[in-house]
Amino acid sequence: MAVLTFAMLTTGCLKAGVTVTFSEDELTVSENTPITGTFRFVLTGYLGLGMYNELKVEWLDENDDVIPMGEGEQDQFEIAVWLAPIGDTRTFELDLEELQYEIKPPAAAWKPDGPEIKQAVFAFKATGLGLPTKVVEVPVSQQSPSA
């Protein structure tokens, strides 16, 4: 048994991996309206335990430049995504509508002829053992007009 466990450790069979996916293929945004959608976290392996506790969102324009946040606008958010290698804690769904924060594109993204957002980049940072920072890029190809 010890040899099998050692072999699994050295070959990476127990090493933790995390995949994060977004519920939609693209993100639809409206001026001054919070975005919606769900991120699904899945832990594989056994050597991972902890919590994703920070989300940073960047909005990129057509040149892949970050659109700056204005005064009073927020791009970093506290979250609580617990993952552990046992039972139901291997997966977690983070519904953006259930957060206590509203995640919105910056006002600077809207120009007189419409929005200029090409992509949203979500970076999830973790504390714990074996949980790497995860980045999810979501295209913003359909942009609805301001309501």
Return the higher-pLDDT residue of 5 and 59. Answer: 59
- Residue pair 67/60 in contact (Cβ under 8 Å)? The answer is yes
- Residue pair 53/78 in contact (Cβ under 8 Å)? The answer is yes
pLDDT class of 39 with cuts at 50, 70, 90: very high
pLDDT of residue 117 exceeding 90, the answer is yes
- What's the CA gap between 135 and 60, in Å, rounded? 14
Alpha-carbon torsion (55, 92, 132, 49), positive or negative: positive
Average pLDDT over residues 15-21: 86
| pLDDT tens per residue, range 58-112 | 999 999 999 999 999 999 999 999 998 887 778 999 999 999 899 999 999 988 7
Max Cα–Cα distance, the chain, nearest Å = 68
Average pLDDT over residues 10-20: 68
Distances (CA, A) of 145 to 30, 86, 136: 6, 45, 25
| pLDDT tens per residue, range 125-145 | 998 777 899 999 999 976 655
* Total-model pTM: 0.84
pLDDT of residue 90: 87
pLDDT of residue 88: 72
pLDDT of residue 8 exceeding 70, the answer is no
Does 2-143 carry CATH code 3.90.226.10? no
Please report, for the chain, the start and end positions of each structural domain, with discontinuous segments joined by +.
2-143
- What's the CA gap between 37 and 20, in Å, rounded? 13
pLDDT class of 13 with cuts at 50, 70, 90: low
